[in-house]
Amino acid sequence: MIKLEALKTSKQDVVIVGGGLGGLVAALLLVAQGHPVTLIEKKVYPFHRVCGEYVSNEVLDFLKRHQLFPDFLDLPLMETFEFSDTQGKSARLPLDLGGFGISRYLLDDWLYRLACERGVKVITGMQVTDLHFDSLEDRFRVALSDFTYQEAYFVLGAFGKRSKLDQVLERPFFSKRSPYIGVKYHIKTQGSRNTVALHNFDGGYCGINAIEGDTFNLCYLGSREQLREYGSIPEMEKNVLWKNPILHRIFQESDFLWEKPEVITEINFERKLPVENHLLLLGDAAGLITPLCGNGMAMAIHSAKLAAEALQRGTTRQEVEQYYASSWNEQFYKRLGAGRAIQRLFGSGRGSIIARNLIEHVPFVARILLKNTHGQPF
């Protein structure tokens, strides 16, 4: 009974593992509510992440209300969706909600600095090696790579698509191998700064959209098997991606700004749970939406809002966990399922031609499909 009263009358301490969008936004919301917050990020800001860097406008009003939007920047606004099949034939569709482009290098670093200014304790360059919930003490013990530890009443897991912590926590999806890889470049190229494009190739698809400055993000989901077959990313790109004439032209005519791309493997779209081992999981750690939907950044931000609301409304740990799981499933469960279903039309010759014809000749159906992978402004 004493512990229940303590939770009702005081602001419990929170540790957030992972400093991406979900972790940073949750930290900023929770510290504003009066919680002592420690955020732990294994890398040092600023840094690049494999990400499409397109943000749906469903989160725009929310970010502005909480002063979490860098409105001093002139960011490109996405109003049109362009789609090409594996043969390079394309179709366009106006975006009902639209979005904006911004690099994670810039946005995450800006939010990190904001978090520090607003009172979040941020530990960077430090790996979390273990998480343990002590049911007798009703607290977490978080072990760090320097052999120190943090303790907290609540821990939020925002450690991304796949982490060593998933293995430590014995999450079921971790043992399942994924056939996908993700590759990202920043490029300078000719193209509309108000269009988000998705170009198909055998085994995957490539998204391109403008970000800040005069730069574009080029990010694709490819096949591990094809990488193994061709031996290197450049050879795979020449032999697979370039068979789409649009991608061939982009790769040949663009200025690639990095010597090497950002690459991740083991991209897994298996179902996950938003609450495990008393952890509230945010963003990709709770569920990874297929990249073709362009909704991962918005979902991470929205999940942070739901977690902050759960801590504010719940009077016991059980209530907090139940509120978060329920609200997360209400917002995202069907959206993730729709993304997995729609992905079957992408990355193959026949499927991509069907999808292109749908956009070109039955646009209202295409709009409904897109709508099912996005949320409403909040």
3-class state of residue 178 by DSSP: coil
Residues 6+ apart with CB under 8 A from 134: 140, 141
From residue 152, alpha-carbon distances to 271, 312, 313 in Å are 28, 16, 19
Q: For the packed helices 349-361 and 363-371, what is the interaxial angle rounded to 10 degrees?
A: 110
Decide if 255 is inside a domain: yes
pLDDT-derived band of residue 9, with 50, 70 and 90 as boundaries? very low
Decide if 376 is inside a domain: no
Encoded amino acid at 110, one letter: W
For 182, the token pair is 């993700």
Determine phi and psi for 180, rounding to 5 degrees.
Answer: -110, 155
Decide if 377 is inside a domain: no
Domain coverage including residue 152: 2-371
Q: Beta partners for 54?
A: 101
- Cβ atoms of residues 113 and 228 within 8 Å: no
pLDDT-derived band of residue 276, with 50, 70 and 90 as boundaries? very high
From residue 302, alpha-carbon distances to 22, 110, 329, 371 in Å are 8, 18, 12, 16
pLDDT for residue 147: 96
Average pLDDT, the chain: 93
Q: What is the mean pLDDT of residues 318-332?
A: 97
- Cβ atoms of residues 144 and 126 within 8 Å: yes
Spatial separation of the C-alpha atoms in residues 112 and 19, rounded to whole Å = 8
Of 295, 280, 307, the C-alpha closest to 337 is: 295
pLDDT for residue 10: 56
Burial of 141 (0-12, 13-18, 19+ CB in 10 A): middle
Spatial separation of the C-alpha atoms in residues 241 and 199, rounded to whole Å = 9
Q: From the CB of residue 215, how many other CB atoms can be counted at a distance below 10 Å?
A: 17
Which ranges in 191-239 belong to alpha helices (H)? 224-230, 233-239
Model pLDDT for residues 154-166, shown as the tens digit of each residue: 999 999 999 999 9
Spatial separation of the C-alpha atoms in residues 178 and 336, rounded to whole Å = 17
Find where tokens 């690099």 sit: 103
CATH of the domain at 201: 3.50.50.60
Model pLDDT for residues 25-67, shown as the tens digit of each residue: 999 999 999 999 999 999 999 999 999 999 999 999 999 999 9
Number of domains present in the structure of the chain: 1
Model pLDDT for residues 352-364, shown as the tens digit of each residue: 999 999 999 999 9
Q: What is the mean pLDDT of residues 175-189?
A: 93
Decide if 378 is inside a domain: no
Spatial separation of the C-alpha atoms in residues 162 and 77, rounded to whole Å = 30
Find where tokens 């719940």 sit: 314
CA angle, 289 then 297 then 240, to 5°: 60
Q: What is the mean pLDDT of residues 127-131?
A: 96
Query: pTM of the prediction?
Result: 0.93
Tell me the Ramachandran region of residue 254: left when phi exceeds 0, alpha when psi lies from -120 to 50, beta otherwise: beta
3-class state of residue 199 by DSSP: strand
Q: From the CB of residue 354, how many other CB atoms can be counted at a distance below 10 Å?
A: 14
pLDDT-derived band of residue 177, with 50, 70 and 90 as boundaries? confident
